[in-house]
Amino acid sequence: MSKRRIYLDYNATTPLRKEVKAAMIEDLEVFGNASSMHADGREARGRVETARRAVGALLGAPPSGIVFTSGGSESNNTVFQTMRRLGAGSDGRVLPQGRTGIITTAIEHPCVLNSAAYLKTLGYKVHFLPVDEEGKIRMDVFKAALSEKILLVSVMMANNEIGTIQDIAEIARLTKAAGAWMHSDAVQAVGKIPVDVEALGVDYLTMSAHKIYGPKGIGALYIRKGAPLFPLINGGHQEDGLRAGTYNNTGILGLGKAAELALEDLPRYGSEIGALRKKFREGLLARVPHIKINGHHEDVLPNTLNVSFPGAEGEAMLLSLDLAGIEVSTGSACASGSLDPSHVLMAIGVWPELAHGSIRFSFGWGISEEDIDYVLETLPPIVARLRAMSTVQSHA
Ligand SMILES: *Cc1c(COP(=O)(O)O)cnc(C)c1O
């Protein structure tokens, strides 16, 4: 067994920061129901509202525009379910004469893709926009799809597998000019690059705590004043009736603390985590022949590097690296376990065989230059061994 463990899968989830953990442990003593009017309730509520201000500050949003949810998946589903209600008559059926078009992309997270696919089964016209070979939306195709029939445009700010960043401000500007609602899944962007809902001009924006060193099972949805929102979970009057259920105070407090730290650290995230990525990228290009880097050459998350290794199989690389104490992924965590090649790599035109030989390395706080050196020593012989095996097999 290797003593060393180097986690390079920060886009799947991040470790809980020690400051967040300490704040949450202290908060577990605060048991009040944040909706109760007595002192214990008010104490819990005060903490929830402090967290709301911290999340708002991170996103450039007023605290009143922040709704707490169970995470990114719920936030995204809430937006799509809202559109389902908007486009339907009182009998729940789609109104063919109304706005029934949805534009999204082929590289969204499964929780958006499947929400859009569900609306399609109900009769909505859904456009899954193609992207170019670096993962950017094709703006000409987007403009051609936009019309007065479009109800919602939902485009992720940064991709979880290849890290490509979209020009959300421009997409939102065109969307608003067409009179449609604009949503962005910014789960992978928040805490890594500046995310300001005013500068972006979005109506809805999704974030999740566990991708920014906070706890799992808690997240938020930003909603612009005046934009419609129907609750996904009906019940009590929590969150102004937009999301029922007794407050998950400690989760919310953890999210707030993580948001506060993310805002504080944002100025050095790009340079420090970006430097690790650069060192790794250059080391890899120098040591492993014939590799291909997937994603945009410039508009890319500072922490994400997706690499195709022709002639080596992804799952085998992942397992060999794991034995050496290095944890990576072959796509998104949500897609692993499936034998289909990554839908994101397919969308950028990577051949299925090559997509099967691709690894996502995602970095974050806690990784040192020595860790990168260790990976750069460990990985090349693994790739060489697997490539030699596949050559033997293909000649057998
Ligand atoms: C992780 C992730 C989600 C899902 O967030 P959860 O809080 O795990 O539900 C959604 N979108 C993107 C881009 C993600 O990376």
Q: Mind listing the pLDDT tens digit for each residue in 72-103?
A: 999 999 999 999 999 887 777 777 778 999 99
- Range 107-121 average pLDDT: 97
Q: Choose one of 261, 286, 319: the last residue of a domain.
A: 261
Please list the residues that pair with 360 across neighbouring strands.
306, 329
- Count of CB atoms situated within 10 Å of the CB of 370: 10
- Which of 222, 245, 261 terminates a domain? The answer is 261
Indicate which residue's Cα is closest to atom 10 of ligand 1: 72
44 lies in the same domain as 147: yes
Q: Does ligand 1 have an atom closer than 6 angstroms to the CB of 163?
A: no
Residue to probe by mutation, ligand 1, list 211, 303, 343, most atoms within 8 Å of CB = 211
Catalytic residues: 334
Q: What is the pLDDT of residues 258-283, one digit of tens each?
A: 999 999 999 999 999 999 999 999 99
Residues 187 and 199 in one domain: yes
Ligand 1: does its nearest atom lie under 6 Å from the Cβ of 109? yes
pTM: 0.96
Task: Please name the residues in contact with 147: beta carbons below 8 A apart, sequence gap of 6 or more.
Answer: 101, 178
C-alpha of residue 187 to centroid of ligand 1, in Å: 6
Closest CA to 314 of 161, 163, 132: 161
Query: Quick one: pLDDT at residue 386?
Result: 96
216 in the same domain as 343: no
Q: How many domains does the chain have?
A: 2
Query: Domain span at residue 228?
Result: 18-261
Residue 390 confidence (pLDDT) above 90? no
- The answer to whether position 277 is within a domain reads yes
The rounded Å distance from CA 251 to ligand 1 centre is 16
Q: Name the phi and psi angles at 382, rounded to 5.
A: -65, -45
Task: Supply the CATH number for residue 245's domain.
Answer: 3.40.640.10
Is 371 within a domain? yes
Q: Is 160 in the pocket of ligand 1 (CB under 6 A)?
A: yes
| pLDDT classification of 395: cutoffs 50, 70, 90 | low
Lowest mean pLDDT among 11-25, 235-249, 337-351: 337-351
- CA 71 / ligand 1 centre spacing (Å): 7
Residue 123 placed within a domain: yes
Q: Determine the distance from the C-alpha atom of residue 165 to the mean position of all C-alpha atoms in its chain, rounded to a whole number.
A: 11
238 plus 327 within the same structural domain? no
376/231 same-domain check: no
Q: Does ligand 1 come within 6 angstroms of the Cβ of 111? A: yes
Instruction: Give the pLDDT mean for 116-143.
Output: 97
Say yes or no: CB of residue 252 within 6 Å of ligand 1.
no
pLDDT digits (tens, 9 = 90+) for 200-210: 999 999 999 99
Q: Which two tokens stand for residue 380?
A: 């090349």
Cα(208)–Cα(185) distance, integer angstroms: 10
Indicate the pLDDT class of residue 64, thresholds 50, 70 and 90: very high
What number is the average pLDDT over the span 129-140? 97
Q: Is there a domain that residue 396 lies in?
A: no
Q: What is the DSSP letter of 102?
A: E
Choice from 79, 104, 109 to test ligand 1 binding pocket (greatest atom count within 8 A of CB):
109
Mean model confidence pLDDT for the chain:
95
Which of 205, 235, 261 is a domain's end point?
A: 261
Q: Closest Cα to atom 4, ligand 1: which residue? A: 72
pLDDT attached to residue 180:
97
CA distance 23 to 250: 9
What pLDDT does residue 4 have?
85
